[in-house]
Amino acid sequence: MRQSITNIVPLLTILIAAFLVVLIPFKVIGYGFLPPDDAMRHAAKVISGKDWNRILVMREGVTMDSHPGWHAILGAVRRVAGWDAHSLVLFSVISLFILFAAWPLFFVRYPESWLASLLILGMAAPGFIWRLVLGRPYIFTMAVTAVLCLSWQKFKDRKFPFAACAGLTLLIAASTYIHCSWYMFALPLAALLLAREWRASAAFGICAGLGVMIGASLTGQPLIFLKQTLAHLFLAFGKNEAEYMLVSEFRPGFGDATIAIAVAFALVWCALRGRWHKALVDNPVFILGLLGFVLSLFTRRAWLDWGFPATAAWMALVIDDFFASKPEAGSPRRFILVTALGFVLFVSVTADVGGRWTALKPVDQISADNPKQAQWLPEPGGIIYSNDMGIFYHIFFWNPHADWRYMLGFEPTLMPKEDLEIFRDIQRSPWTFKPFYGWINKMRPQDRLILRSSPASPPRIPDLEWNYAALNTWIGRLPRTPAKSAK
């Protein structure tokens, strides 16, 4: 009887851990939480059934969708379930969080290790956990990175690991098709090479090359897809005079000092236990985390999408080694530990500290279904001008079928060159409305300028008629009746 209990303990601990992890995103969306950015535009695009050039005013040469795989998945879900944009966003939040937080449970010997790692790093850097509920496809790549870090030693076997390599190739293909940041797989390859894991680096290089080619081929236009996604990278980081001109997550950072402290404590803990050895830091998982940390000085995405998952995996492996040193692998007392860790993780993530979840409950949205707002929204064929990407995310989300386009969408460098220069002028001079006249002077009666401003008074642009449409949001249009210009 005791032997039967011992044999079933590992399976039950995984099930308990997975169950507690799965509850987390449901609790978060129970607050009414709705991600404020890309998850909205991905869902809205699927609902609209349009190509991006029918949604945005785009520069020449941008012809392909950069996330075809994710849109294909959302499209399939919509066809099966009949869901609207809001439901698709919730699906994105739940499925991607579970993928990152639960999938690695099956790649450690003790699921308590992964729970403890998420708890430690999540409390050290709460913003990391917050990013995991944004429902964006980069989370898929983060999950692939974590799983790769937890299983990389399979690729150093003398006998070529065909099954593991086939699985990794398919994962990289899926990541390429879903997320499009295929070029970033150079980071784990660099980590393997720096760790002098020649056999594993050769196997990974083959898998990555094949995976990228397969993923790009799934788009139907592989060469154009690879060229466009790489060009987008250079455009996004291109001729920006200052870091504030980049979208926030592309800006440089200083790394997470609290994470560095947590890693240092883990190393000291290993030394105190007599488990210090060079391989703790001289391995591709630690090196990948370090690479992401250093590269965050150039762009935060290197740390957030690659360094942090690698660090979480490294921490889990360190804790896994601790549990492996104990003689109680089959003890029923593990149920208590995994339940306690899962419960604390659940509470720490779902606590509405500072209103981090309820503050993003949608209120006062702009919709063409509202008669009072509809008369101020663009007319058919119109363009919405704005200096705030949040305007695009929210209005497109609530109006996916609308017959207008947006000058500023999810990436400024996608707009035509002359309009990008106007946008840069606006960024350079945030204290004046004068640069907006680059757009105002070419506005047509069907176009609108939508700005964030205090409800106390409209933006100081008297050449337009203004209407306070929603929370801190004003819609401006050309005067319907002749009026003196006060410019």
Token pair for 442 = 């070419």
Query: Residue 300 and residue 47: Cα distance in Å, rounded?
Result: 31
pLDDT at position 253, please?
Answer: 74
User: What confidence tens digit (pLDDT) does each residue in 313-339 have?
Assistant: 999 999 999 888 776 655 777 888 999
pTM: 0.92
Strand partners, 143: none
The total number of residues shown for the chain amounts to: 487
Q: From the CB of residue 257, how many other CB atoms can be counted at a distance below 10 Å? A: 10
Query: Residue 473 and residue 479: Cα distance in Å, rounded?
Result: 19
pLDDT at position 179, please?
Answer: 92
Mean pLDDT by 10 residues, the chain (487 residues): 58 91 96 94 97 93 86 97 96 98 94 95 89 96 96 86 93 95 94 96 95 96 90 68 65 80 94 89 96 89 92 96 74 84 95 92 90 95 96 97 96 92 92 95 97 93 95 94 49
Query: Residue 357 and residue 350: Cα distance in Å, rounded?
Result: 8
CB 371 within 8 A of CB 19: no
pLDDT at position 298, please?
Answer: 85
pLDDT at position 487, please?
Answer: 42
Question: What crossing angle do the helices spanning 111-124 and 2-30 adopt, rounded to 10°?
Answer: 30
How is the beta sheet containing 448-452 ordered, strand by strand? 404-406, 382-385, 448-452, 473-477, 465-470
Phi, psi dihedrals of residue 72, rounded to the nearest 5°: -65, -40
Phi, psi dihedrals of residue 101, rounded to the nearest 5°: -85, -25
Give the pairing of strands 448-452 and 404-406.
unpaired
How buried is 162 (Cβ within 10 angstroms: 0-12 exposed, 13-18 middle, 19+ buried)?
exposed
Phi, psi dihedrals of residue 474, rounded to the nearest 5°: -115, 140
Q: From the CB of residue 304, how many other CB atoms can be counted at a distance below 10 Å? A: 21
pLDDT at position 483, please?
Answer: 47
User: What confidence tens digit (pLDDT) does each residue in 130-161 have?
Assistant: 899 999 999 999 999 999 999 999 998 778 78
Token pair for 29 = 């969306």
